[in-house]
Structure 1
């Protein structure tokens, strides 16, 4: 169709593709980077507060706060632990819809 083609000189729209899952190493590096940057940013803020107020308490508090926030972000982004074997299943899919009933081969 002519209306779907961009006019000359305009960029073509990108096709919609789902985000690709990275390898295990990429995920590991992302997790480690999140942990280190959380400690560095919040620890740095605590260090600046310590220098400004002439105290020695905010650096360790900032590091602990940074690692806590980083752990929360990692679990939020990459998911928690898988459910334990034998844990009760509520029978719902992650989207909240019930899954289709399973039938025997040859039945409809």
Structure 2
């Protein structure tokens, strides 16, 4: 019990809080912003290379590469949604017990 409380004069640690989840609109704007900025940054780099080397191939390649990287970042950040606390996953009953396996018709 004594090790749980800080010594006299020391700061007390903050309780752990779950990270704040934004609203659906905030998430949508973040996804759109990531997609547009990926195309703009990589497309801009391709456009600069096209201007420097007097070609026409790097701008479309940069836009496509930027979109691919942006899609990867969006899926990595927002792709897996954890179930909310208190919700049960497939195979469990609301009480937390495993549900009985389903059998074919006529079997018990």
TM-score with structure 2 setting the length = 0.64
Aligned position for 1:101? 98
Q: CA deviation at 1:4?
A: 6.4
Q: Runs in 1 of length 4+ with deviation above 6 angstroms?
A: none
Aligned position for 2:86? none
- Is 1:42 the counterpart of 2:42? The answer is yes
* Number of residue pairs matched by the alignment: 83
TM-score with structure 1 setting the length = 0.64
Aligned position for 1:6? 10
Aligned position for 2:16? 16
Instruction: Report which of the two structures shows the higher radius of gyration computed on alpha carbons.
Output: 2
- Is 1:77 the counterpart of 2:77? The answer is yes
Q: CA deviation at 1:20?
A: 1.5
Unaligned runs of 5+ in 1: 81-90, 92-98, 104-108
- Is 1:53 the counterpart of 2:53? The answer is yes
Question: CA, structure 1 residues 4+100, in 2 after alignment: closer, same or farther (shift >3 Å)?
Answer: farther
Q: What secondary structure is seen at the aligned counterpart in 1 of 2:7? A: helix
Unaligned runs of 5+ in 2: 81-90, 101-108
